[in-house]
Amino acid sequence: MNKEVVEEEVSTNENQAKNKQRKANHFKCTVCGYQTLRRSTIKQHINSVHLSIKNHKCTLCDFKTAQKSYLKHHMNVIHLGQRNHKCDQCNFEAYQKSSITKHVNHVHLDIKKHKCTYCDYRTPQRSVLKTHIDAIHLGLKNYKCDQCDYQTTLRRSLKVHTEAKHLGIKNHKCTYCDYKANLKSSLNKHVNSVHLNNRCFKCDHCDYHASLKVTLKAHIKRAHLDTKEYKCSECDFETAQKRELELHMDSIHLGMENHKCSQCDYQSINKCLLETHVNTKHLGIKNYKCTHCSYVANLKSDLTKHSNSVHLNVKIFNCSYCDYQGSKRAAVRRHIKSVHLHIKDFECSQCDYKATKKRFLDSHMRRLHK
């Protein structure tokens, strides 16, 4: 037999034996089945994942971690601002070269090699796939808040929830106004939508644009699908938004009205709504200015409605009887009442004449009674 062939076969057998030995020497977590070649790694895994022991603390902020390498990474990235590796296709910078590789694969090459076995979902990261399966298909919510009923599939989501809801921690401040957020992503969304007016999410059914993806989804459900998936268990109230259902339950059925106006009898369960009430009704503050005309509004939603109806001519509300479309829900309601239901709400005080619109009544008064 050829000497090179023999040497290659011996080398292959040795590698196979080494691989078997490595597998035999795996250290396994008795709680979840995690395996590793190092005993110290198992100890770190148990301390960080199952016992939540974080012995390594940052001297500059409240950050804690179970591994020294994570603390070093935190110091270099957050406090020293080290970004040694740059993407050659955009301005993205990272502390680790592996982060650049993941960025390129995900953003520029759109490589998503990890596929869900239950649906068509794909992702470039195995950990994200696991989270997807746990949350969407298995419905696992292993992280529970010890102060309320909140549950989540992600530990960081629980941390964000605790800081925002129970501790009131909001470290990210807007440079344009007094807004504060507990997440940097929330601050970015605020700046883009409120101050920069970036509306990059376009509706496929009409000319509507939104600054947030969740706002676009709510628009489609409300305007085009008429979906009201959130239903009150106590009455017939239905809504397309979960927050509206929560407010309905608190105010109508639980009678929660904790925030009271000092100038009138107005009460609200929401502090922001009370502030809006004071600013609009008592102070007359109108911070939202139209960029096309002199119109000013005290609510951002009112400015959006004004822009859509007056300047953009966006008609997102459809009549259920004909092809009529309106820029305002109230306009569609008036159309249905007058054209299809023939309801005449405007009555003449001097004769039996009735009209579906006020301008018709005004014309009648000028023509016959003046």
Residue 89 domain flag: no
Which of 285, 281, 283 has the alpha carbon at shortest distance from 268? 281
Residue 341 domain flag: yes
Which of 161, 190, 156, 194 has the alpha carbon at shortest distance from 173? 190
CA atoms of 158 and 150, how far apart (whole Å): 8
pLDDT of residue 248: 78
| Average pLDDT per block of 10 residues along the chain, 370 residues long | 57 59 65 78 78 81 81 82 82 82 81 85 84 83 83 82 81 81 81 74 79 78 73 81 76 70 79 80 83 84 80 77 80 82 85 86 86
Residue by residue, DSSP assigns 249-297 as IIIIIS----EE-SSSS-EES-HHHHHHHIIIIIS----EE-SSSS-EE
R_g of the chain computed on alpha carbons: 30
Q: Domain total for the chain?
A: 2
Q: Global pTM?
A: 0.35
Cβ neighbours of residue 274 closer than 8 Å, sequence gap 6 or more: 259, 260, 261, 266, 268
Residue 75 domain flag: yes
pLDDT of residue 329: 77
The enclosing domain of 329 has a CATH number of: 3.30.160.60
Chain-centre distance of CA 280, in angstroms?
A: 27
pLDDT of residue 1: 53
Residue 305 domain flag: no
Residue 349 domain flag: yes
Is 54 in contact with 64 (CB distance < 8 Å)?
Answer: yes
pLDDT of residue 170: 81
Secondary structure class of 92 (helix, strand, coil): coil
Residue 32 domain flag: yes
Residue 91 domain flag: no
Residue-range definition of the domain harbouring residue 334:
317-368
Torsion of CA 321, 222, 332, 346, to 10 degrees: 120
Residue 226 domain flag: no
